[in-house]
């Protein structure tokens, strides 16, 4: 350990720690833009975190501490340096805060206010508007990739607002290992850029990790909250709102509550006050997904193990495409190969389609829970109301930017019909809507979800955590296969934030149909960079032969989605994760197949899991 003092206060930190880490330990705030606690690099390029150390100004994020070091973070010299950096950035930044989507939620805006940068610029007679911008503008505008890119269905780029901090590039290249964004230009002119001609021509998977790291509005989700507001104001349609599992543990943060605060009941009440007529829960559809995906897994296992397939769940009678189970444009009911991969994360599905098309037959044919909900609302619930699908406006609130792209996928549409989900707004956009319409979420009373699509199990909510889809599936598949409940509902080995997790489960000797004593081997990848490593290990024969693999494109799963509140709390993912597991533990029903509303839906409408109607409405194909 090394001891040093910061602003006269002593602190001890491990050798090799940076001044920034030591200051954080003392609760002393040092502004920084290029460094972020959830990113693995400290480039030290923004120069905002300069502090007095060892007789000079040094970047706190990139300077290791030494014994007896005395650091000052609050001297006039330091403040002058911060103001100078901010003034230069401000002079290069468009003055369109009033109409910017991140207005009021912008790190740069907060810093300019905090350090009174306008007054500093006036005192120094510095021009406030883009006077220093010639180098940047001429360099970027002549760049063939351009400053603006709205070609993606999920992500909007406006590099005019870029502060060149490079956090988006680190998120895309180092964390996600996607290399869609990169730094272009040299020295002072280096700036983030899309490395292909346009986002829609790139390998971008719409994960939004670049957007959630952007301190300003240079990269953000394609905003849809205005259209949702228009629909709410017009009152032409029946307004239905559905909410993803991970939003209820994060929307509070967006409105000033502590990370990990569970606000499910207040969130539902807030949606009512926004003007929605029916509030349903994507957790219900997560339970539905488990019924379909669990059944599909068992069918794949039986096929791989040479066992007879039960006729009730479709079987050969509905087979349309032989071996190409999840391939092409016909729905095939023939079980596909092992391992089966989850298909609920659109970032992962896009990765397979764009980079690993040979794995398409391995993707579960299940639609994501959100899209299952879309199909059930537009087909089943609309009919219950005596309405046609076009009379309903379905808004999905998601922690995810890729869900915007997913909603537009042609593979998810039935012929002659529009999108099942009309609009997808992120948790951040939902917060924006609440602020715009002055709905005070934190002080609202709790309200329950509506029925028939609002009841869910604890297994549904844990979809929001990495490993949660797998744990939920195991709770049901084990019981369906063996007739006995999973000995422990909590599958410890696949919990937590590790990038790759594995578990092996033996089916009991009492299991019927040749399943007795069989081992189920599963793996979980958290973040697309980690998924690539797992695939490489599988390809190289360094991993066991898995039966089922869960992949979530965002680190941590949906709790860390690209549409979640921006946060500089290094523990934010753990706090959201703990909140999700708490909801599960407090749920009266903890297994998807025990959800009475799910049982009713099959009895009243869908028939059997994996049956013909379930296949038509709840399963999909993939683009190759």
**Catalytic site includes residue 406:** yes
Supply 305's token pair.
């193990």
Select from ligand SF4, ligand HC1, none the partner in contact with residue 205, using the beta carbon and a kind-dependent cut-off of 5 to 8 Å.
Answer: ligand SF4
Shorter beta-carbon distance to ligand HC1: residue 86 or 370: 370
Could you say whether residue 246 binds ligand HC1 (CB under 6 A)?
yes
Select from ligand HC1, ligand SF4, none the partner in contact with residue 246, using the beta carbon and a kind-dependent cut-off of 5 to 8 Å.
Answer: ligand HC1
H-assigned helices in 97-174: 107-114, 117-123, 134-141, 167-169
Angle of the 282-304 helix axis to the 468-482 helix axis, nearest 10 = 60
- C-alpha neighbours within 13 Å on the C-beta side of residue 66: 3
Residue in 193, 202, 332, 364 annotated catalytic:
364
Could you say whether residue 282 binds ligand HC1 (CB under 6 A)?
yes
Could you say whether residue 467 binds ligand HC1 (CB under 6 A)?
no
Cα 356 to chain center, whole Å?
21
Could you say whether residue 558 binds ligand HC1 (CB under 6 A)?
yes
Select from ligand SF4, ligand HC1, none the partner in contact with residue 210, using the beta carbon and a kind-dependent cut-off of 5 to 8 Å.
Answer: ligand SF4
Supply 101's token pair.
């989507």
Could you say whether residue 399 binds ligand HC1 (CB under 6 A)?
yes
User: How many Å apart are CA 459 and CA 489, to the nearest integer?
Assistant: 9
Q: Are 240 and 395 in contact (CB under 8 A)?
A: yes
Reported residue count of the chain is 624
3 state SS of 104: coil
**Three-class HEC string of 548-580:** EEEEECCCCHHHHCCCCCCCCCCCHHHHHHHHH
User: How many Å apart are CA 295 and CA 59, to the nearest integer?
Assistant: 56
- Residues 283-302, mask of contacts with ligand HC1 (x by CB under 6 A): ---x----------------
Could you say whether residue 245 binds ligand HC1 (CB under 6 A)?
yes
**Catalytic site includes residue 558:** yes
Residue in 160, 224, 254, 406 annotated catalytic:
406
- Beta carbon of residue 172, minimum distance to ligand SF4 (angstroms, whole number): 3
With CB under 6 A as the contact rule, which of the stretches 20-28, 215-223, 297-305, 395-403 interacts with ligand HC1? 395-403
* Greatest CA separation for the chain: 83
**Catalytic site includes residue 15:** no
Residue in 164, 558, 575, 592 annotated catalytic:
558
Shorter beta-carbon distance to ligand HC1: residue 194 or 246: 246
Q: How many CB atoms lie within 10 A of CB 388?
A: 11
- Residues 315-344, mask of contacts with ligand HC1 (x by CB under 6 A): -----------------------------x
Residue in 161, 367, 378, 403 annotated catalytic:
403
Select from ligand HC1, ligand SF4, none the partner in contact with residue 155, using the beta carbon and a kind-dependent cut-off of 5 to 8 Å.
Answer: ligand SF4
Out of 100, 400, 477, 525, name the contact with ligand HC1 by CB under 6 A.
400
Shorter beta-carbon distance to ligand HC1: residue 191 or 576: 576
Q: Are 167 and 114 in contact (CB under 8 A)?
A: no
With CB under 6 A as the contact rule, which of the stretches 20-28, 366-374, 472-480, 495-503 interacts with ligand HC1? 366-374
Could you say whether residue 463 binds ligand HC1 (CB under 6 A)?
yes
Nearest to 271 by CA among 246, 239, 249: 239
Could you say whether residue 565 binds ligand HC1 (CB under 6 A)?
no
3 state SS of 598: helix
- Beta carbon of residue 447, minimum distance to ligand HC1 (angstroms, whole number): 20
422-450 in b/e form (b: 16+ CB < 10 A) is bbbbbbbbbbbbbeeeebebeebeebebb
Q: Are 214 and 168 in contact (CB under 8 A)?
A: yes
Give the residues lining the site for ligand SF4 (CB under 6 A).
155, 171-172, 176, 178, 180-181, 204-210
Q: Are 325 and 334 in contact (CB under 8 A)?
A: yes
Residue in 344, 366, 393, 554 annotated catalytic:
344
The four Cα atoms 168, 162, 49, 97 give a dihedral, to 10 degrees, of -120
Q: DSSP letters of 387-409?
A: --GGGEEEEEEES-SHHHHHHH-
Could you say whether residue 494 binds ligand HC1 (CB under 6 A)?
no
Angle (nearest 5°) at CA 110 between 104 and 113: 115
Select from ligand SF4, ligand HC1, none the partner in contact with residue 398, using the beta carbon and a kind-dependent cut-off of 5 to 8 Å.
Answer: ligand HC1
- Residues 368-387, mask of contacts with ligand HC1 (x by CB under 6 A): xxx-----------------
DSSP secondary structure code for residue 517 in this structure: T
- Please count the residues of this chain forming the interface with ligand HC1, following the rule CB under 6 A: 19
H-assigned helices in 182-337: 209-213, 225-234, 251-254, 264-274, 282-304
- Beta carbon of residue 146, minimum distance to ligand HC1 (angstroms, whole number): 30
Residue in 269, 293, 471, 550 annotated catalytic:
293
Could you say whether residue 363 binds ligand HC1 (CB under 6 A)?
no
With CB under 6 A as the contact rule, which of the stretches 137-145, 392-400, 566-574, 595-603 interacts with ligand HC1? 392-400
Could you say whether residue 244 binds ligand HC1 (CB under 6 A)?
yes
Residue in 221, 253, 269, 296 annotated catalytic:
296
Select from ligand HC1, ligand SF4, none the partner in contact with residue 282, using the beta carbon and a kind-dependent cut-off of 5 to 8 Å.
Answer: ligand HC1
Could you say whether residue 462 binds ligand HC1 (CB under 6 A)?
no
**Catalytic site includes residue 364:** yes
Select from ligand HC1, ligand SF4, none the partner in contact with residue 178, using the beta carbon and a kind-dependent cut-off of 5 to 8 Å.
Answer: ligand SF4
Select from ligand SF4, ligand HC1, none the partner in contact with residue 601, using the beta carbon and a kind-dependent cut-off of 5 to 8 Å.
Answer: none
| Residue entry with tokens 């030591």 | 22
Could you say whether residue 464 binds ligand HC1 (CB under 6 A)?
yes
**Catalytic site includes residue 231:** no
User: How many Å apart are CA 360 and CA 362, to the nearest integer?
Assistant: 5
Q: Which residues pair with 500 in a beta bridge?
A: 525
Helix (H) / strand (E) element for 241: namely strand 238-243
Q: DSSP letters of 299-367?
A: HHHHHHTTPPPPGGG-GGGG--STT-TT-SSSPP-S--PSSEE----HHHHHHHHHH-GGGGGGB--BP
- Beta carbon of residue 414, minimum distance to ligand SF4 (angstroms, whole number): 28
Q: Which residue is nearest to ligand HC1 (CB)?
A: 558
Out of 345, 453, 470, 617, name the contact with ligand HC1 by CB under 6 A.
345
**Catalytic site includes residue 411:** yes
**Catalytic site includes residue 554:** no
- Beta carbon of residue 595, minimum distance to ligand HC1 (angstroms, whole number): 13
Nearest to 101 by CA among 260, 241, 221, 251: 221
**Residues found near ligand HC1 in the complex (CB under 6 A):** 244-246, 282, 286, 344-345, 368-370, 398-400, 403, 463-464, 557-558, 561
Catalytic residues: 293, 296, 344, 364, 403, 406, 411, 558
């Amino acid at each position: 350990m090394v001891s040093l003092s910061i602003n006269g206060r002593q602190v001890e930190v491990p050798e090799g720690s940076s001044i920034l880490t030591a200051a954080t330990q003392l609760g002393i705030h040092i502004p920084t833009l290029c460094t972020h606690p959830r990113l693995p690099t400290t480039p030290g390029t923004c120069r905002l975190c300069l502090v007095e150390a060892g007789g000079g100004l040094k970047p706190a994020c990139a300077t290791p501490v030494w014994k007896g070091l005395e650091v000052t973070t609050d001297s006039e010299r330091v403040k002058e340096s911060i103001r100078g950096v901010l003034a230069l950035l401000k002079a290069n930044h468009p003055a369109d805060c009033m109409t910017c989507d991140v207005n009021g939620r912008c790190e740069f805006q907060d810093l300019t206010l905090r350090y009174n940068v306008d007054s500093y610029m006036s005192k120094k007679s510095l021009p406030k508007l883009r006077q220093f911008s010639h180098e940047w503008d001429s360099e970027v505008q002549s760049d063939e990739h351009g400053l603006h890119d709205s070609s993606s269905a999920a992500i909007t780029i406006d590099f005019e607002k870029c502060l060149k901090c490079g956090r988006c590039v680190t998120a895309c290249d180092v964390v996600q290992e996607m290399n869609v964004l990169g730094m272009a230009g040299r020295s002072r002119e280096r700036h983030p850029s899309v490395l292909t001609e346009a986002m829609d021509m790139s390998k971008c998977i719409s994960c939004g990790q670049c957007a959630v790291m952007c301190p300003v509005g240079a990269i953000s989700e394609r905003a849809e909250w205005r259209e949702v507001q228009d629909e709410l104001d017009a009152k032409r349609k029946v307004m239905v709102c559905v909410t993803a599992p991970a939003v209820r543990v994060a929307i509070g943060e967006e409105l000033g509550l502590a990370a990990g605060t569970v606000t499910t009941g207040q969130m539902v009440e807030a949606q009512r006050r926004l003007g929605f007529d029916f509030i349903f829960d994507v957790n219900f559809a997560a339970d539905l997904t488990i019924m379909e995906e669990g059944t599909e897994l068992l069918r794949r296992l039986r096929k791989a193990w040479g066992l007879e397939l039960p006729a009730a769940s479709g079987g050969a009678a509905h087979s349309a495409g032989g071996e190409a189970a999840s391939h092409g444009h016909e729905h095939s009911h023939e079980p596909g190969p092992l391992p089966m991969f989850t298909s609920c994360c659109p970032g992962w599905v896009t990765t397979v389609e764009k980079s690993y098309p040979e794995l398409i037959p391995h993707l579960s044919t299940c639609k994501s829970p959100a899209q299952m909900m879309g199909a059930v609302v537009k087909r089943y619930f609309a009919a219950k109301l005596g309405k046609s699908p076009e009379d309903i406006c379905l808004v999905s609130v998601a922690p995810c930017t890729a869900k915007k792209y997913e909603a537009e996928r042609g593979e998810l549409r039935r012929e002659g019909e529009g999108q099942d989900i009309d609009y997808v707004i992120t948790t951040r956009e939902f917060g924006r809507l609440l602020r715009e319409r002055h709905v005070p979420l934190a002080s609202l009373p709790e309200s329950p979800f509506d029925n028939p699509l609002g009841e869910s199990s604890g297994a549904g909510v844990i979809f929001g955590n990495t490993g949660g889809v797998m744990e939920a599936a195991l709770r049901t598949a084990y019981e369906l296969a063996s007739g006995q409940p999973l000995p422990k509902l909590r599958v410890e080995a696949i919990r937590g934030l590790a990038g790759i997790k594995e578990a092996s489960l033996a089916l009991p000797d009492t299991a019927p149909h040749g399943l007795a004593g069989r081992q189920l081997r599963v793996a979980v990848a958290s973040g697309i960079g980690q998924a690539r490593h797992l695939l490489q290990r599988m390809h190289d024969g360094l991993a066991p032969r898995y039966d089922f693999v869960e992949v979530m494109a965002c680190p941590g799963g949906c709790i860390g989605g690209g549409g979640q509140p921006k946060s500089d709390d290094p523990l934010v993912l753990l706090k959201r994760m703990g909140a999700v597991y708490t909801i599960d533990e407090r749920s009266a029903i903890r297994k998807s197949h025990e959800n009475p509303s799910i049982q009713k839906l099959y009895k009243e409408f869908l028939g059997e899991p994996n049956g013909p109607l379930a296949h038509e409405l709840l399963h999909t194909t993939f683009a190759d």
